[in-house]
Amino acid sequence: MIKYLGCLSGFLLLLGAGANAQSVKDAIHTNIDILTSSAMHGRGYVQNGVEQASVFIQRRFKEYKLKPVTADGTFIQGYSFGINTFPGIMSLNIDGKELTAGADYLIDASSVSYGSTDKKIKVIDLQQITTKAAWRKTLNSFDEQYVYSLEHVDSFCKFFSENPRKFAGQLPRGAFIIPQTAKLTWEVAQDTIAATVFYVKKEVLPTHMKMAAVNVLSHFEPKQKCENVVACVPGEVKDTFVAITAHFDHLGMMGDAAMFPGASDNASGTAMLIYLASYFAAHPQHYSILFIAFSGEEVGLLGSSFYVSHPVVPLGKIKFLTNIDIMGDATDGVTVVNATEYPHQFTMLNQLNDAHHYIPIIKSRGKAANSDHYYFSEAGVPSFFFYSNGGKGYYHDVFDKGDAVTLNNVDGVASLLIDFLGNIN
């Protein structure tokens, strides 16, 4: 039976008056604006961006009087990993025109430093290469006195059944341009390659390119210190937990000018987690509520993987975990990953939404290794991953800014999450 009465005071606060409902949006948007500000440097691994985001979350937890759960009495669980970064100059000039980092081009995240004045551009059409022997010959022919533009890389990879993401790793030392017709989407990398590779919008490239100048500073940090932020609100049953998680890291900086704010991914989820922390701090539940803000998600779910291997609260003490990633616009409701794995909880979620009409629709999805719920689920912790459906489609790009996040229906999502988490039994 669904325990509606347990969260009644919360519903009155969140749903009773339009001004109060708007205040939920205001609170979430305020934290998104802080997390996406230039002071956070994209919450990545340049200029201590991810560390500053951690400090901010800790400050919020202290403000709400959440309790630490780590052995040393802090909110911090530290770990480290290797990361390739771009802390300085990032310049690509084609025929005298300086292209805009982030908007016109991205650098392959594994690229190394490179510096040159104008060099001639050689164009190679990879559709003309139809054998592995011809490709090996081409690789051996590359000369550092040129900058190479490699046309039709996607067709080449499809022909040879290769992963386009691993293509750059085959290239030798030198500078390479790979024209792009698809959306530019960046990532971070834990390794380096020999080459310096740029993915450039085809529309900004001259029809007949002649000269290019390239200047890039990269730095590989073998032991980047990082941390998860962990806290709780004790419940009536203090040694059993319902967990709420979100990752606060993002891609950071690509050079000294291009910042990736990560408003939707995942300042929005982190801001929702912070809002829920403020709510549950004022409204303790039957079970203790565990809050975990992960770093390292964009590098490959590293923070959550580390937690599962080194749990602060034992995994067996977590009754259910709800992960929030991309919570900027729920115009078309939310999708729940692992819905098919936990049908009882998914049914309850829909019953609550049907009763209160929080959001337009809750979509079901199966297992997916696409966010921080994954390693918990694989370790036997019942887990959902919520993400919103809507927005302008900005993702892993320089346009994912705070002012592009609408927060449509996100106050309803907050109400649904509070209701759902309060009814876990």
Distance between CA atoms of residues 89 and 405, nearest Å: 30
What are the helix and strand counts (H, E) for the chain? 10, 19
Do 203 and 93 share a structural domain? yes
CA 94, distance to chain mean position in Å, is 31
Look at phi and psi of residue 286 and say left if phi exceeds 0, alpha if psi is from -120 to 50, else beta. Answer: alpha
Q: Is the pLDDT of residue 19 over 70?
A: no
Do 315 and 236 share a structural domain? yes
Do 373 and 237 share a structural domain? yes
The residue-averaged pLDDT of 41-62 equals 98
Q: Concatenated DSSP letters for 304-359?
A: HHHHHHS-SS-GGGEEEEEEE---S--TT-EEEETTTT-HHHHHHHHHHHHHH--S
Do 292 and 152 share a structural domain? no
Q: Are 334 and 272 in contact (CB under 8 A)?
A: no
* Residue 169, helix vs strand vs coil: helix
CB-count burial class (<10 Å; 0-12, 13-18, 19+) for 278: middle
**Integer CA distances (angstroms), 390 to 246, 260, 325, 360, in order:** 19, 20, 13, 12
Residue that is last in its domain, among 216, 246, 273: 216
Q: Are 255 and 101 in contact (CB under 8 A)?
A: yes
Residue that is last in its domain, among 157, 184, 216: 216
In this prediction, residue 143 carries a pLDDT of 97
Task: Give me 326's structure tokens.
Answer: 């991309």
Domain that holds residue 200: 89-216
| Position 23 confidence tier, pLDDT thresholds 50, 70, 90 | confident
Domain count, the chain: 2
CA 423, distance to chain mean position in Å, is 29
What is the pTM (predicted TM-score) of this model?
0.93
pLDDT tens readout for residues 97-122: 999 999 999 999 999 999 999 999 99
Instruction: Give percent of the chain above pLDDT 90.
Output: 94
Do 313 and 212 share a structural domain? no
Do 370 and 330 share a structural domain? yes
* Residue 253, helix vs strand vs coil: strand
CATH number at residue 242: 3.40.630.10
**Integer CA distances (angstroms), 5 to 2, 10, 11, 108, 285, in order:** 9, 10, 10, 53, 12
| Position 214 confidence tier, pLDDT thresholds 50, 70, 90 | very high
CA 257, distance to chain mean position in Å, is 20
Distance between CA atoms of residues 260 and 387, nearest Å: 20
In this prediction, residue 203 carries a pLDDT of 97
**Length of the chain, in residues:** 425
**Integer CA distances (angstroms), 262 to 189, 247, 266, in order:** 17, 11, 6
Smallest CA-to-CA distance from 307 within 69, 57, 53, 56 is with 69
Residue that is last in its domain, among 172, 200, 216: 216
pLDDT tens readout for residues 252-287: 999 998 999 999 999 999 999 999 999 999 999 999
Do 125 and 204 share a structural domain? yes
Do 180 and 128 share a structural domain? yes
CATH number at residue 156: 3.50.30
Do 206 and 316 share a structural domain? no
Task: Give me 26's structure tokens.
Answer: 């205001």
Do 139 and 281 share a structural domain? no
Do 181 and 93 share a structural domain? yes
Do 125 and 9 share a structural domain? no
